Chain A
Amino acid sequence: MADNSSSLLDRSRTVAGPGYNRWLVPPAALAIHLAIGQAYAFSVFNKPLGALISGDPAKPAPDDWTPLQIGITFSIAIVLLGLSAAIFGKWLERVGPRKAMLASSLCFGGGFLIASLGVHLHNIWLLYFGYGVVGGIGLGIGYISPVSTLIKWFPDRKGVATGMAIMGFGGGAMIGSPLANNLMTHFKGSAPMGVAPTFIVMGIIYLIFMQFGVWTIRVPADDWKPAGYVPSTEHNDMITTANVSADNAIKTPQFWMLWVVLLCNVTAGIGVLETASPLIQETFSDTAMGAGKGVTAAAAAGFVGLLSLFNLLGRFFWSSASDKLGRKVAYAIYFGLGTIMYALIPTLGHNLQLTLFVAVACVIISMYGGGFATAPAYLSDLFGKYQVGAIHGRLLTAWSTAGVLGPLIVHYLSDSRKAEGFSGAAAYQTVFYTMASLLVVGFISNILVHAVNERYYEKGPVTVEAGAH
């Protein structure tokens, strides 16, 4: 696709002039990630969407959508996130972040509007198409849109920069959930469960909010570097000064080892996130703790909220720490420490050690977030910054895979144990031991990551335009 117009959206029109402050770029990235992070709060719509006809989530009508039908919407969105990130990554590298962010905002906001029509007509296929397909494409393009730009602006602090943006994705759910609840309460009298108008308002709000990122983002000039920045001359096999194209990157074993690393990280994280509420209520029930001392549904919701906070903080903390520790060491910590902690959860539950149980779960989920946020910097270290956004996009197919497989594995294992008569922590024991085993796989995969063979390097200097073909 030639890009010869002189539109304000063109990459050439987004090159920063002298004096531009690079600390304007993270807020631009955050504006996108805070919006699309709403996807992780989709579950807030589960009950209202399941009671559009009956009007009472406790008594759904026969024609109301089932939880499974509604849950498919999120799965489609996550699959489309990975696919669109993989497909549109090279396009993004060529046209620049502004055009990609605009496309993301139109898809994400537009997806809400189409979904609202689906809710209004009670047509689940329109909901799937709107929020799942169109919105999912917005998620994928939006997720990777600021990554390579941030890495180019912050060659000295890649982990900090990408950690800030990806932290926004975690924060997006914290905004999206109460926002949706407030809007549904407000519109409850004017539409079934208030969902359709809530979708319209949220679509418009996100579309406008994301424009802040679209019009603030700038790319650095090709020869730009931070004032006073002197690239380290110390030789480090794991940080290349060469460049590997996205097409070549997927031919390397390093890419697929990182794919396995992300797959294991996300699947294991889902093990905690999917089970958090029932796990803590069933493990620390009134029966186990004594009358009136068990964990209530409200407290369990508090536990889920606490995990969200640590997920958010972990994204920034661990990714920033990886700038000092090195990416390989950081992932070794996530998986090494994570394996021990996952294996500890059933024991802590069995011994009714609530405080330790909560603390361990928080550390686990912080490292899950860290695993997400450190990935772009790891890719940049291994493959260079030339097409790191596109490579990251392709890596995100691991997230899509885990997003579909993870819940299936978790529910299959816990349901099987419950069918065998186990309850409380024992019902989830297999889940956590399986996840700990997955982390061992991730640990080994990470250890096997070495420098990329020189035959995959681009020959000669690379430019953005060179990536267009």
Chain B
Amino acid sequence: MNPQPNNSTPPATESGMGGSVVLAWLVVGLPLAWGVSQTFIKALALFK
């Protein structure tokens, strides 16, 4: 699709809804961080 002039729809912002963005990243970031930490602890056995 060729780039079209964007006159009708206001652009989504990158700074708006900051609280929602932080919350959304926490929802997925916390389980991921837990999983990564568990894997990291397991990986430490290699260096012992």
By a beta-carbon cutoff of 8 Å, the part of chain A in contact with chain B is 16, 18-24, 27-28, 30-31, 34, 153, 168, 171-178, 209, 212, 216, 220-221, 223-227, 231, 241, 243, 295-296, 298-303, 305-306, 308-309, 312, 358, 384-386, 461-462
Contact = CB atoms under 8 A, between A and B. Distances in A.
Main secondary structure of the interface of B (DSSP, over half): helix
A31 B27 contact: yes
Nearest to B48: A299
A367 B25 CA distance: 26
A20 B43 contact: no
In the A-B complex, the 4 residue pairs with the smallest Cβ-Cβ separation, listed nearest first, are A174-B35, A302-B46, A302-B45, A175-B35
Contacts of A171: 32, 35-36
13 contacts: A18-B9, A20-B12, A21-B13, A21-B15, A24-B21, A27-B21, A173-B35, A175-B31, A212-B28, A223-B8, A241-B1, A302-B47, A305-B40
State which size class the interface on B falls in: 35 or more
Contacts, number: 138
Contact of B14 (A22, A177, A223, A296): A22
A31 B28 contact: yes
Interface string B4-18: 111111111111111
Given A19-B12, A21-B13, A23-B14, A223 B6 contact: yes
B12 A305 contact: no
A213 to B, nearest CB: 9
A175 B30 CA distance: 10
Contacts of A178: 34-35, 38
Contacts of A306: 43, 46
A305 B43 contact: yes
A216 B24 contact: yes
Nearest to A296: B45
B13 A19 contact: yes
A241 B39 contact: no
Given A23-B25, A168-B32, 19 more contacts: A18-B9, A19-B16, A22-B14, A171-B32, A175-B32, A175-B35, A178-B38, A216-B24, A223-B7, A223-B9, A224-B9, A299-B45, A300-B46, A302-B43, A303-B43, A305-B43, A306-B43, A308-B39, A384-B1
